[in-house]
Amino acid sequence: MKKEGEGLIREGLAGKRILMTGATGFLGTALFERLLTDIPVERVDLLIRRDAPARLRTMLGGAAFKPAADRVGGVEALRELAAGKVRPLPADLTQGPIPVADDIDLVIHTAATVSFDPPVDDAFETNLLGTLRLYEASGGRPFIHVSTAYVAGLTRGTQPEELLTRPLRWRTERDAALRVRAEVETDSRRPEQLARFEAKARSEIGRAGPQSVAKRSEQHRRSWERDRLVEYGRARARSLGWPDVYTFTKALTEIALDEAAGDNPLAIVRPSIIESALARPYPGWIEGFRMAEPVILAFGRGALPEFPGIPEGVLDVIPVDLVVNAILAVAASPPQRRAVHHVSSGFRNPLKYRDLYDFCRSYFLADPLPERGRGAYQVPEWTFPGRLAVQRKMDTAEKVISAAEKVVGHLPHGSMARKAAVRVDDLRSRLDFAKRYAALYGSYVEAEVIYTDEKTHDLFESMPPEDRAEFGFDPACYSWERYFHEIHLPQITKSLRRTSPARTNPAVKLATPAGGQLVIAIYDIDRVIVDSNVIEPYLWLRMAEIEGSERLKEFASLASKAPGFLAAERRDRGEFLRKFYRLYEGASAVGVRALADSVLADLMLRRMAPGAIRRIRAHRAHGHRVVLMTAALDFCFGALAPLADELVCAKLAEIDGIFTGDLAQPPLVGEARASWLNDYARATGADLSASYAYADSLTDLPMLEAVGHPVAVNPEVPLHRLARSRRWPVEIWEPGKGTPKVLVPPVPEDFTW
């Protein structure tokens, strides 16, 4: 007998042993929360990849379970409840055994690759083959498969709650998709492709060294490979009438399941676009960014001046808790050989695309998002010009931004160049975002299809009043204006409104080493500690020992060699240094060093950045070992030696007291610096993962990557862009004031160049 107020859902699931997948996903989390706290099932077996017990423990401490934890007396009490009711089982549906206990009464399968653009083989492995492996392991038990309403593909009109009838050979599609990775891998290794990847890498970071180029080249190859696999899936799906490989593989999965199930009970639940909760676990609950959030937030930030879409078209959105309740109702119903249920809103409570735009625009106009230190974002006004017009605007923007990127890449070192790069990078980020989401979602916002839900509505109407009140899934029970203005939009913008008003770079945090651990702080000197480079010391020395017209001749001579030096610098910094240091050929070693002591020592001290000195002192106060490194010659920066535990400079070879113009050892530039640092760490027992590196040039990328705390200081544009993309700290250390513009000290009488 049913207890008073128990309802059919609790009665139908009481004492059941349920196997569930996808519990760590958005829909799965919401479903599991209700099974754990509201439904008197005997046991829930959760199939979770990797460390299942640890992931379950983390999940129970999450936001979705906070209301439940409050009801039962806290998170630990909730975990005790789960300990007696839930079995977390490590399993990967794509490989290895799938643990299905003999006493399982029902399987609810919500796991899937929900990305619209995964590599084609990944989509097939997870959505199709993983589901079939799970079904085979379930042994014909009642099986609820959560699919998507969009298995109907690119179509118009109404779509009923029926099995797909399109003639698709799922095995043929599967075999072709799984072969593609090997084909793409082969294509990516063809000589012409490898040469293209290498050329691109060399143009980006060629100065960092050959191994850095090789590493970046391989990254480009793998990126190309992934993009190619994504495009294979997208192209095949669209050629057969689906917007993307996600909906295509979900459609194939339904067909394969229908075939595999035979006369066994199988229910297919097809939600539309699942968004934040209407009521459970609490209004507005959402995890991660679903389909609409990236576009809505970009709109609120003024980053989408236009977007494709049919204003009168219906965008089918459904709150996650309504989907959960429908699944529970299906699960509690007597098993059927086949049951197909749409959980959607377009038929009974349609949300027009223009209405969504109006709701979002009015919300952001009334309560705009703060633009960190710049007031509020301006909300754009869309005119819905159509996909082709939007695409033309994007193509024009692509040309303009690409041209700007080339200009920025050749701007001279300085703050103006960095600001220009930030501006161009922001524009590029916005454009790439708009292009990507227009391609992904264009078919959804231009859809002219309605998913009917008579069977789902009949199921709802068959429920007793207490179930309809507590486990309702009628999409007509709320208004979209209230949902967006009072529930969804406040929730997804909450974190953005809490953000501090000013955007700051990640801070450099110094820590005192524990247990005798040695930490290194290594600095490039040029343009980091001292506002100088390898050319300036030579000029200061030469100008100090010549006068009048001879100075003009020296400038002219150096200027005539500048193009050669510049070309060498762009090819390889080591080549540039070797060419430039030839200028010292034939000079007296003793004389040059004496002149450097009298000319350069005071100059370099006056040009030091106060910020660098403060940071060096801070490292020393924390017990770190300070290393200063430069490709400049040793007599240029000798005055900095007291600051460091190690001062590493280049040296010129000499014969009988005369500089030969050759370096005594290969210059420490690019990868050679990282190699030196690794050797030094091994010799001293230092922990590079806890160490720090400061540099201004992309040439020093290997050294920056060798430590756990890389810092870009006064960075040139390429390093500044890379540091921002990797969230490395970026600091600007202004040079010391009062640097003399002309310095002509007394020259020793016996000096000869």
Point out which residues pair with 693 in neighbouring strands: 522, 710
- What confidence score (pLDDT) does residue 234 get? 94
pLDDT interval class at 738 (50, 70, 90): low
> Tokens 């089918």 map to which residue?
316
How far is the C-alpha of 624 from the C-alpha of 209, rounded, in Å? 28
- What confidence score (pLDDT) does residue 500 get? 46
User: What is the arithmetic mean of pLDDT over 431-449?
Assistant: 79
- What confidence score (pLDDT) does residue 432 get? 80
| DSSP-assigned letter for residue 291 | S
pTM above 0.85, yes or no: no
How far is the C-alpha of 249 from the C-alpha of 114, rounded, in Å? 11
pLDDT higher than 80, residue 373 = no
How far is the C-alpha of 188 from the C-alpha of 628, rounded, in Å? 42
CB-side neighbour CA atoms (13 Å) of 179: 6
- What confidence score (pLDDT) does residue 745 get? 42
- What confidence score (pLDDT) does residue 497 get? 79
| DSSP-assigned letter for residue 65 | G
- What confidence score (pLDDT) does residue 417 get? 76
Residues in Cβ contact with 430 at an 8 Å cutoff, skipping those fewer than 6 apart = 298, 303
How far is the C-alpha of 714 from the C-alpha of 695, rounded, in Å? 8
Please give the residue that has the higher pLDDT: either 753 or 686: 686
pLDDT higher than 70, residue 549 = no
> Tokens 């760490």 map to which residue?
681
How far is the C-alpha of 537 from the C-alpha of 560, rounded, in Å? 18
Helix (H, G, I), strand (E, B) or coil at 661: strand
How far is the C-alpha of 112 from the C-alpha of 147, rounded, in Å? 9
How far is the C-alpha of 170 from the C-alpha of 106, rounded, in Å? 26
Q: pLDDT tens digits, residue range 74-112? A: 999 999 999 999 999 999 999 989 999 999 999 999 998
Phi then psi for residue 84, to 5 deg, are -90, -5
Q: pLDDT tens digits, residue range 196-229? A: 999 999 888 888 888 999 999 999 999 999 999 9
User: How many of the other CB atoms lie within 10 Å of CB of 570?
Assistant: 13
Which stretch of DSSP H or E encloses residue 436? helix 415-445
How far is the C-alpha of 80 from the C-alpha of 68, rounded, in Å? 13
User: Strands, DSSP E only, in 418-458?
Assistant: 448-451
Domains of the chain, earliest start first:
520-731 (3.40.50.1000)
- What confidence score (pLDDT) does residue 737 get? 65
pLDDT higher than 60, residue 747 = no
Instruction: Tell the burial category of 276 from Cβ atoms under 10 Å away from its Cβ (0-12, 13-18, 19+).
Output: buried
Q: Are 249 and 238 in contact (CB under 8 A)?
A: no
Q: Which long-range contacts (CB under 8 A, 24 or more apart) does 557-564 make?
A: 558/583
- What confidence score (pLDDT) does residue 4 get? 45
What's the whole-number average pLDDT of the chain? 88
